[in-house]
C-alpha cells in the first residue's frame, strides 16, 4: 500500500482531450512519462510550454539566472483582484524592494518570537477538536482553520475568532469557490486577445477582503504611531525601511502584502498538515513514535523544536509526496537552448515540485512514505538537488523557516492528544487547486489518546 497518487492519463491524447482533462485537474492530465523525463515540451497552436524536471535546468531557471526567467504574468490572472501588487506577483525592481522589506521579519532570530503565538493556536485547536473526538472529521477544513489562526496570531496578534479575522477567513473561502486560483491560463496560456473576465461576485469578494485587511492595517498604523503596538510580524514589516531607498510600505502596499501572507501562509500549511495527518493514519507506528516524542512539549518554549526530530522528518516527507505548491511557472525572457532543444523567447517554463519529488531517476522508492530516507545517502543527495517544496533561489518562499516550525509543532501537539484513523472507503484523490488538495476532502476518525 503506497500513499494515494493520481492516475496518469494515457501517453497520447488529442489537444482537446488534454485541455478538457486539464480543466479538471493538472495532475491527472499528465502522462506517466513525466515522472522519468528530464524535460518535456507541450506544443499547441497557441503556446509552447516546457516542463523541466532535471536539477541542473531547475538551478538555471530559479537560482543561476532568475532575472532571465521572471514570474509569468499569466499566472497572475486569477490572483490580481485579491492580491494587487503583492510580492508573490511582482517582478524586477518592485519585487526586489518588497523582499528587502519583508525578509527581515522572517529571519531566524525573529522566528523564535512567533513560537508563543503558534503554540497558542495549537492549544486552541486541541481544545476545539476535543469536542469532535470519537467522530469522523474532514481535516482539510480543520487544518485551514488552524493555519489561518496561526497567521492572524503571528501577524496581527489576534485569534481567528477576532471579528475581522473571522470575516476574512469566511470571505476568502467563498472567493476560492468562485475563482479557482491556480488558473489554467498559467500552464496553458490563452491567446493574449482573449479577455480575462472575473465574475462580479469574485471582484466583490476580493474588494470586501481587501477592505477588511485595510482596516486591520490602518488600525495597526495608528497603534504604531501612538506607540504600544504589539511586537508581531505586522509591526515588524510596517516599521522596516528599505535600506536602499529609505522607504517603507505605504498602507496600500501593506494591504497587498497582508493579502499574500494570509493566502500563501495558510493555504499551503493547511494542505501540508492535512496530508501529513492522512499519511500518519496510514502508518500508525509512525503516529505512536511522534506521540512519544511529543512528550518533550512539557516544556513549551522554542528550544523544544530541536527535540521534535521525527515530527520534522515526517512533515518533510509529507512535503515531498504532497508539495502544497505543485507547479510554478516562469517565462523565458530570451531564446534559450535546453538539452539541445530550442526554447523560444516567451515560452512558459513549468517547474513541477510534484514531478521532481517523485523523479524516478533520482529518488529511491519515490512513491513510498519513508521519513527515514532523510538519513540515507540517497535522501541527503536528493534533499539538496531534487527537493523544492519552498522553491529555491532568490524567490524562495520567505515563510519556509516559519512553516518548518509551524508544521512539526502543530503535528506534535495534535498527536500528543489524539489518534487519527483511516475511514473505510475514504481514500483521498490528490488534485491541484491553488495547493494540492484532495478531491473530496480528507476524512479521518479522531480518537482521544
- Catalog residues that contact ligand HEM under the rule CB under 6 A: 87-88, 99, 260-261, 264-265, 268-269, 272, 324-325, 328, 389-391, 395, 397-399, 402-403
Alpha helices for 295-399 (secondary structure H) = 309-321, 353-356, 377-385
Q: For cell 509543532, name the residue.
A: 409
The least CB distance from residue 152 to ligand HEM, in Å, is: 11
The least CB distance from residue 326 to ligand HEM, in Å, is: 9
The least CB distance from residue 395 to ligand HEM, in Å, is: 5
Nearer to ligand HEM, 83 or 444 (CB): 83
CA distance 73 to 312: 35
CA distance 374 to 355: 19
Nearer to ligand HEM, 175 or 402 (CB): 402
Nearer to ligand HEM, 35 or 95 (CB): 95
- Residue number with the shortest CB distance to ligand HEM? 399
Radius of gyration of the chain (CA): 22
The least CB distance from residue 275 to ligand HEM, in Å, is: 10
The least CB distance from residue 350 to ligand HEM, in Å, is: 11
The least CB distance from residue 85 to ligand HEM, in Å, is: 12
Q: Give the three cell numbers for residue 440.
A: 473530496
Nearer to ligand HEM, 91 or 239 (CB): 91
Q: What are the CA-CA distances from residue 41 to residues 44, 51, 52 (Å)?
A: 10, 6, 9
Backbone angles phi, psi at 386, to 5 degrees: -135, 30
CA distance 290 to 65: 41
E strand or H helix that includes residue 418: strand 418-421
Long-range contacts of 301-304 (CB under 8 A, 24+ apart): 301/115, 302/112, 302/115
The least CB distance from residue 360 to ligand HEM, in Å, is: 22
Nearer to ligand HEM, 186 or 444 (CB): 186
Nearer to ligand HEM, 91 or 426 (CB): 91
Helix (H, G, I), strand (E, B) or coil at 328: strand
Q: What are the CA-CA distances from residue 229 to residues 164, 349, 439 (Å)?
A: 18, 43, 42
CA distance 324 to 345: 29
CA distance 420 to 358: 26
Nearer to ligand HEM, 402 or 443 (CB): 402
157 closest CA partner among 117, 184, 192: 117
The least CB distance from residue 222 to ligand HEM, in Å, is: 23
- Cβ atoms of 171 and 263 within 8 Å: the answer is no
DSSP 8: P
Nearer to ligand HEM, 274 or 304 (CB): 274
The least CB distance from residue 133 to ligand HEM, in Å, is: 26
Alpha helices for 28-103 (secondary structure H) = 55-58, 80-83, 92-102
Nearer to ligand HEM, 290 or 328 (CB): 328
Backbone angles phi, psi at 351, to 5 degrees: -115, 125
The least CB distance from residue 111 to ligand HEM, in Å, is: 11
389 closest CA partner among 407, 376, 370, 415: 407
Nearer to ligand HEM, 139 or 419 (CB): 139
Amino acid at each position: 500500500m503506497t500513499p494515494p497518487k493520481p492516475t496518469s492519463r494515457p501517453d497520447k491524447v488529442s489537444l482537446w482531450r488534454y485541455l478538457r482533462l486539464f480543466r479538471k485537474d493538472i495532475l491527472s492530465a499528465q502522462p506517466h512519462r513525466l515522472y522519468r523525463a528530464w524535460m518535456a515540451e507541450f506544443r499547441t497552436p497557441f503556446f509552447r510550454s516546457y516542463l523541466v524536471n532535471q536539477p541542473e535546468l531547475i538551478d538555471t531557471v530559479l537560482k543561476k539566472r532568475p532575472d532571465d526567467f521572471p514570474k509569468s504574468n499569466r499566472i497572475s490572472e486569477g490572483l490580481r483582484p485579491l492580491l494587487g501588487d503583492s510580492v508573490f506577483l511582482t517582478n524586477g525592481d518592485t519585487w526586489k524592494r518588497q523582499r528587502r522589506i519583508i525578509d527581515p521579519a522572517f529571519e531566524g532570530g525573529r522566528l523564535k518570537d512567533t513560537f508563543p503565538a503558534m503554540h497558542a493556536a495549537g492549544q486552541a485547536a486541541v481544545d476545539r477538536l476535543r469536542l469532535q473526538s470519537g467522530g469522523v472529521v474532514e481535516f482539510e477544513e480543520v487544518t485551514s482553520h488552524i493555519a489561518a489562526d496561526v497567521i492572524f496570531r503571528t501577524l496581527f496578534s489576534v485569534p481567528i475568532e477576532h471579528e475581522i479575522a473571522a470575516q476574512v477567513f469566511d470571505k476568502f473561502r467563498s472567493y476560492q469557490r468562485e475563482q479557482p486560483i491556480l488558473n489554467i491560463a498559467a500552464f496553458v496560456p490563452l491567446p493574449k486577445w482573449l479577455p480575462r473576465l472575473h465574475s462580479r461576485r469574485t471582484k466583490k469578494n476580493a474588494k470586501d477582503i481587501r477592505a477588511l485587511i485595510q482596516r486591520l492595517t490602518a488600525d495597526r498604523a495608528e497603534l504604531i504611531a501612538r506607540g504600544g503596538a504589539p511586537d508581531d510580524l505586522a509591526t515588524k514589516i510596517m516599521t522596516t525601511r528599505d535600506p536602499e531607498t529609505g522607504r517603507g510600505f505605504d498602507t496600500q502596499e501593506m494591504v497587498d502584502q497582508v493579502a499574500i501572507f494570509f493566502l500563501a501562509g495558510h493555504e499551503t500549511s493547511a494542505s501540508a498538515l492535512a496530508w501529513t495527518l492522512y499519511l500518519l493514519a496510514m502508518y500508525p507506528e509512525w503516529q505512536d513514535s511522534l506521540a512519544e516524542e511529543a512528550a518533550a512539549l512539557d516544556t513549551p518554549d522554542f528550544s523544544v523544536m530541536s527535540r521534535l526530530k521525527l515530527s520534522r522528518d515526517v512533515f518533510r516527507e509529507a512535503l515531498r509526496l504532497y508539495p502544497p505548491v505543485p507547479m510554478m511557472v516562469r517565462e523565458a525572457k530570451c531564446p534559450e537552448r535546453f538539452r539541445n532543444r530550442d526554447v523560444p523567447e516567451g515560452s512558459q517554463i513549468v517547474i513541477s515540485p510534484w514531478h521532481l519529488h517523485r523523479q524516478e531517476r533520482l529518488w529511491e522508492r519515490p512513491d513510498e512514505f519513508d521519513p527515514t530516507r532523510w538519513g540515507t545517502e540517497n535522501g541527503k543527495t536528493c534533499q539538496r538537488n531534487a527537493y523544492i517544496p519552498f522553491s529555491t533561489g532568490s524567490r524562495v518562499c520567505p515563510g519556509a523557516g516559519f512553516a518548518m516550525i509551524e508544521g512539526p509543532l502543530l503535528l506534535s501537539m495534535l498527536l500528543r492528544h489524539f489518534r487519527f484513523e483511516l475511514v473505510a472507503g475514504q481514500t483521498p484523490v490528490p488534485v491541484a487547486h491553488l495547493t494540492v488538495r484532495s478531491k473530496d476532502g480528507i476524512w479521518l476518525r479522531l480518537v482521544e489518546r
